[in-house]
Structure formats: C-alpha cells, structure tokens
Amino acid sequence: MSGNTRLEGPSHQGTGRLPGLRPPVGQSRGSLVFLGLCLVLIGLNLRTAFSSFSAVLTEIRASGTVPEWAVALLTTAPVTLLGVFAPLAPVLSRRFGSKRVLLGAMVVLTGGLLVRPTEWGSAGHLPGLIVGTALCGAAIALCNVILPSEVKQDFAHRLGLMGGLYTTAICASAALGAGFTYPVFQATGEWSAALLFWAAPAAAVVLLFAPVAVRAPRARTGADHGGTNVWRSRVAWHVTLFMLFQAMTSFSVFAWLAPILRERGIDGATAGAMVSVSILLQMLGSLFAPTLAARMWDQRGINVTVALMTCVGFALSVLGPLEFVWVWIGLLGLGQGALTAVALTMIMLRTRNSHTAVHLSGMMQGVGYGVGSAGTLIVAQIHNTTGQFTLAGWAFLAIGVGAVTFGYLAGRRRNVDAAG
C-alpha cells in the first residue's frame, strides 16, 4: 500500500483550522452561517430513523405484526445500507454537486419516514417497514459521506467548530429519537404514529435547505482526475477500520441498548430516558472532541481513550451491577459521542482537500458501515440463540480491542494524500 506521507509544512493541528484558509470567496458571512445551520439541521435528522425504531421495538414485537426474522433484518439492514450506498456519494456529488445530492437525500429520507409506518392492506405493516427502512438507510448513507466533505470545503477555516457542531447534531438526532418516540406512543397509543412523527422535521429541513441547494453549482469545484487513490493508502485503511469498529458499537447501542435495559428489568419510559441521557452525553463528547483532536499534535491518545470508554461502558451496561447502571450509561455516552466525532474528524485531519475527503469518506463509511452492521447482527443472533444479552457484553469487549488498535494507528500524524 502507499499514501503514508507524513504531514509536512505548516500544520492545521494546534489551531483547529487549516493554515492560510479563509472563508470561500464570494460567500458572505450571513450565507455561511445559514449554510452551517442547514448542515447542522441535516445532521439532526440522521439518526432518528434508527433510535425511534429501537424505542418502540418492544411494542412492535408485542403487536405481532413483525416476525423475529424481520426484527433482525430491520435492525441490521439500515446500517448495511449505509455501507452499500456510501460509495455512490462521490459519484453523485461529481455529477450533480454535493449540495444538490444532500437535498435529494433529505427528500428520500422524508419519503422513507412517511412510508415506514404505513399499513399495506392485508400485508400489514411489514412491507412499509422494510421499504421505508431501505429508503432511510440509502438517504442517510449519502448524507453521512457528503457532510464531512462539505465541512472541509466550506468551513476549513473553522474545521473544529463545524466538525463539533455537525457531529453533535448527529448525536442529538439519536437522543431525540430515543427520548421522544416513546412519549408519542404513550400519547397516541400507536407505535406507527410514533414513527410517523419523525417525517415532519425531515420535511422542514428540505424546505429550508432547498434554496441553498438549487443555487449551488452543479459540480464540485476542482478536477476529479489524478489525486490520491484512497483504496491503496495504508493510512486510509487505518482510518476505515477505526470507523468499522466504531460503527459496530454505535449502531448496536442505537438498536439494542433500550431492549437490553428493559430485559434487565427497567421499564420502557426509564429505559428510554437512560438512552436519551446517554446520547445527550454523547452530544457533549462530540461537541468538544473534534476541536480537541484538531488542536493535538496527533490523535492517538484521544482515539484510544474514547474507544476504551465506549466499549467498556457498553459491556458494563450489559454485565455490570444494575445499581451502577447510570454510571455505565454515562461512561458509554461520553465515550461514544467522542468516538463517533473523532472517527469522522479523521476524514478532515487526514486529507488535504475536499476531493480526497469525499473519497475517503465514501471508503471509510462504505466499508465501516457495511461491515460494521455485523455488530447489530451479532447482538441479534446472540439474543436469538441464548435468549439473553449477556454474551453480547463480552463480544463488545473484544470489539473494543479492535477499536483501540486501529484508533491508535489512525491517530498517528500521517496523511492519506500521496503527494503534497
């Protein structure tokens, strides 16, 4: 493999921004602020599809409309789709422009959230859940890949700040889905209404972002030929595998933490509150981690620390004494938020331009989420085979070893780009 070039010249690290970079020419401060707001609001819609389903999974099971094989499919397929569709994002971005692709993805996400809880006559809710979940997964995959390159392109002069804001918004999205879905179910008595609720904020973002996307250029500035082949870069693979182990943990938490807590004897409302508190702590971790990472000489220390916090916190939530469950939830929340944020920040800190950033983002999220979806499948299979979640706690201690190893390697002061 190639592409192990060390970072040379003036470093962006230590300042939280790239040297010599200013706001894009031709964009006013007001337009940049509005664009930043739109990107944050897009991030605020990228996890509700996952955490809302988990919040009412017990009620969906109790309704008898979804068989157990479909439960495993609906908790695993969305993350798999993130990997399947992620490589398409750079292609679509070159063809239509990144902002237009973001807008189209948000339209598809809104449609998926509308379709997901729909009852299809005698076939019941299952077809809608499958089709809607597939649409949501495809749309979120595109947004996941393009958002970091958008930050790299338009906010390189405020890399740490915008990286922290949009990753915090993603964590907040998961918190909103986990915290508000069950109360909506309690108010309406229908789990389908609780899922349908989340189409409204997605539609609002479409309306807000549409003028920005329509006015944007059709194609990203800069040629798409030459440059770095990220698939041949050792650094890119280190970052990608770090993302893979991060994804295995994160999406397992989104899908299974609430059911795990409820199986341990915690009622639905309290379990939902615990998940929400954990994800609110994720917001705190994700807000400060990108700026902290950007100011460091390298990121080995922070990567290893947050990987340990996340996997140990998740394992103890499954295996640890229940009287300390709030401690485990807090450890998991702070660790996972920071882990997700620093993994995504690696896209910006290990590349020199937005072109390489979008390709690295497509690679690491394609492989990371595609293979990382095995985490939710592992938990589902453990529960189906043993009837409990105990073994999953031990499994995620093992996954933590991988996260620590590749977090250390990805955190070394290297650059994906083969040439300065």
Q: What is the pLDDT of residue 264?
A: 87
The reported pLDDT for the residue numbered 356 is 84
pLDDT score of 27: 66
- The per-residue pLDDT for 377 is 78
Distance CA 28, CA 10 (A): 27
| pTM reported for the whole predicted model | 0.75
The residue behind tokens 């990107």 is: 39
Q: Given the structure tokens 């017990």, which residue do they identify? A: 58
Q: Which helix or strand (DSSP H or E) is residue 21 part of? A: none
Return the closest-CA partner of residue 60 out of 150, 126, 122, 111. Answer: 126
Output the DSSP codes for 146-182: HHHHHHHHH-GGGHHHHHHHHHHHHHHHHHHHHHHHH
- 113, 49 contact by CB (below 8 A): yes
56 DSSP assignment: T
Residue 92 within a domain: yes
pLDDT of residue 219: 57
CB of 201 within 8 A of CB of 106?
Answer: no
The tally of domains found in the chain comes to 1
pLDDT digits (tens, 9 = 90+) for 297-309: 899 999 999 999 9
Question: Does residue 12 lie in a domain region?
Answer: no
Q: In which domain, by residue range, is 375 found?
A: 29-220+232-410
Structure token digits, residue 30: 């007001």
**Structural domain contains residue 48:** yes
Task: Please state, in angstroms and rounded to a whole number, the distance separating the CA atoms of residues 195 and 211.
Answer: 28
CA distance 58 to 76: 16
Residue type, 341: A
Q: Which residues of the chain have pLDDT under 70?
A: 1-27, 218-227, 418-420
pLDDT tens track for 314-373:
999 999 898 899 999 999 999 988 998 899 889 888 888 777 888 898 898 888 877 877
Two tokens at 155? 């906010």
C-beta contacts of 103-106 below 8 A and 24+ residues apart: 103/206, 103/209, 103/210, 103/213, 103/214, 104/142, 105/138, 105/139, 105/140, 105/142, 105/143, 105/146, 106/42, 106/45, 106/139, 106/143, 106/202, 106/205, 106/206, 106/209
Is residue 2 domain-resident?
no
Q: What confidence score (pLDDT) does residue 308 get?
A: 94
In a domain, 227, yes or no: no
- For residue 129, being part of any structural domain is answered with yes
Give me the residues paired with residue 414 across strands. Answer: 6
The reply to whether 153 falls in a domain is: yes
Is residue 23, in this structure, part of any structural domain at all? no
The domain spanning residue 240 has which CATH number?
Answer: 1.20.1250.20
3-class DSSP state for residue 16? coil
- Exposure string of 342-376, with b = 16+ CB inside 10 Å and e = fewer, is bbbbbbbbbbbbbbbbbbbbbbbbbbbbbbbbbbb
Q: Which residues partner with 373 through β-bridges? A: none
